[in-house]
Amino acid sequence: MSQLYDSTFFKTTKLFELTDRIFLLSCGATMLSFDAVTGAPKGGSAVRGRAEAYIAAEAFKIAVSDEMRAAIEELEALENLDAITAAAVRQARREYDSRCKIPVHIMREFSELTTEANHVWEDAKVANDFKAFAPYLARIIDYNKTFIDYRGYTGVPYNTLLDDYELGMTTDKLDIFFGTLKNTIVPLLKRITEAEQIDDSFVTRYVPKDKQKAISELLMNKLGYDRNRGQLRESAHPFTTGFGSAETRITTHYYDQSFFYSMYSVIHETGHALYELGKMPEIASTMLDDGVSMGVHESQSRFYENVIGRSRAFWELIYDELIAILGDEWKGIPVESFYRAANKAEPSFIRTEADELTYSLHIMVRYEIEKAIFAGGVSVDELPELWNAKYKEYLGITPPTDTVGVLQDTHWSGGSFGYFPSYSLGNAYAAQILNTMNKEIDLEALIRADKISEITTWLGEKIHKFGKIKPPAQLFTDFTGEDLNAEHYVKYLNNKFEGLYNLK
């Protein structure tokens, strides 16, 4: 590995010792929560909950200790730090400040509120009863405004929350970003809804779980997911977790009449896992052994899911083996039909079920609403109406209930604001990566030749290996030669969907 990145000094520091203790505690907490949602018996949930709370409290004590402050200050006083130590100090300072600026008793109140709010939201969603959730949401928003008061902001208050998920992100940058998306996707979707529709009726055919599991194995093999450092399990909602490059696990969910669901969630989560597993050994099990931002993490999952997994080349690669698993009754469906069905675009209410084209419109609705909330431009009571008006404007449809409208996502009940835009940034980053990649390697040829591992190696060299060493904006400008922008993404969408729907 390059001489530029040497962790010998960092591993002798007090900062490493303290953060290593936090890392080891977090390994225990990660496995407890992973186990809880992948089949642990219910009987032990109380003691497991206590263990998780204890671990979190011990880690918090170290994180806000005088020892930690001294360890950071000691390194900040040194000049000419190597790249790994410098990045670790930057990261440690950021985490220390964000933890210490807000009084502990306020954080505890907030944590109790969101635990309760989450239960209330679950019931309110089922009952289509926004009024039951509204007072909790109002209090969660007030707490977030208080946090911003403690932490300060540049520009507008909402920027502080955006920065938590994507370092350096602001409403000024996102307004331009979403403006470009809106001007392209809204008219393109309109042309698509007026064009001849893609027939995807076969995707709801019954596929038993054992066959879907075999498909998952096929996909993980094609993508090169190392099962010696990873594992697939089942949970209600797919996700990725683990200990960074040492071990990263994924989950999926199987539906008898939607095998595309498990297929594309396995590809998506494998994308997250390949990023985690691809980091350089010098930073393994350190505080830099993590994805650099939510947006960049999502760029990797979406690159594998959409750019690779929804390509014609990928469908040609897996077609014979897929049909062998599905059985003879599927033989009559040509590969082109699978490819087209996997890329069908249409307006829908639910973000998590949205297709590649309309996905960012769902995010834009949430971004504009969150921005208005923190600018003081909208009250909680007005949210359902505002939500529905924006769906009508951008997607051309009006949610019939709040269950499939403003109540659909869990993020707000958990206290998270500023998170949603990273999903769209991930799509745009992925298109920007593709634009640079096309100048150096032949993506389609590699997929057809069953050499996806060479694509992963390329991504590893440009992105994965750095973990948190470089800030996200620098990571991208270093290898694409330009700042984040929406231009490549809208060009990619126009090209792909005009082709699919014969709009050219």
Residues that bind Zn ion (CB under 5 A): 301
DSSP assigned state of 233: E
Nearer to Zn ion among residue 153 and residue 260 (C-beta): 260
Order of strands, sheet of 230-234, starting from the edge strand that comes earlier in the sequence? 230-234, 248-252, 240-242
Find out whether 500 and 198 touch, Cβ atoms under 8 Å.
yes
Nearer to Zn ion among residue 312 and residue 464 (C-beta): 464
Nearer to Zn ion among residue 412 and residue 419 (C-beta): 419
Distance CA 297, CA 423 (A): 9
Nearer to Zn ion among residue 131 and residue 237 (C-beta): 237
Angle, CA of 259, 457 and 87, to the nearest 5°: 105
What residue number has its CB nearest to Zn ion? Answer: 301
In the bound complex, what is the minimum distance in angstroms from residue 369's beta carbon to Zn ion? Answer: 21
Say which of 166, 247, 269, 368 is annotated catalytic.
269
DSSP assignment string, 388-431: HHHHHHHHS---SSSTTTTTS-STTTTT--S-THHHHHHHHHHH
Each residue of 327-336: b (16+ CB within 10 Å) or e? eeeeeebebe
Residues 6+ apart with CB under 8 A from 423: 298, 359, 360, 363
Nearer to Zn ion among residue 272 and residue 468 (C-beta): 272
For residue 278, which of 255, 259, 306, 297 has the smallest C-alpha distance? Answer: 297
In the bound complex, what is the minimum distance in angstroms from residue 356's beta carbon to Zn ion? Answer: 14
Host H or E run for residue 232: strand 230-234
In the bound complex, what is the minimum distance in angstroms from residue 302's beta carbon to Zn ion? Answer: 7
Q: What is the 3-state secondary structure (H, E, C) of 241-290?
A: EECHHHCEEEEECCCCCCHHHHHHHHHHHHHHHHHHHCCCHHHCCCCCCC
Find out whether 252 and 239 touch, Cβ atoms under 8 Å.
no
Distance CA 266, CA 2 (A): 33
Find out whether 475 and 436 touch, Cβ atoms under 8 Å.
no
- Report how far Cα 488 is from the mean position of its chain's Cα atoms: 20
Catalytic residue flag (residue 269): yes
In the bound complex, what is the minimum distance in angstroms from residue 298's beta carbon to Zn ion? Answer: 5
In the bound complex, what is the minimum distance in angstroms from residue 240's beta carbon to Zn ion? Answer: 7
Nearer to Zn ion among residue 286 and residue 301 (C-beta): 301
In the bound complex, what is the minimum distance in angstroms from residue 359's beta carbon to Zn ion? Answer: 12
DSSP assigned state of 351: G
In the bound complex, what is the minimum distance in angstroms from residue 412's beta carbon to Zn ion? Answer: 19
Nearer to Zn ion among residue 301 and residue 358 (C-beta): 301
In one-letter notation, the amino acid at residue 27 is: C
Work out the number of other CB atoms within 10 angstroms of the CB of residue 146: 14
Find out whether 466 and 293 touch, Cβ atoms under 8 Å.
no
In the bound complex, what is the minimum distance in angstroms from residue 272's beta carbon to Zn ion? Answer: 6
Nearer to Zn ion among residue 251 and residue 301 (C-beta): 301
Find out whether 305 and 238 touch, Cβ atoms under 8 Å.
no
**Catalytic residue positions, numbered:** 269
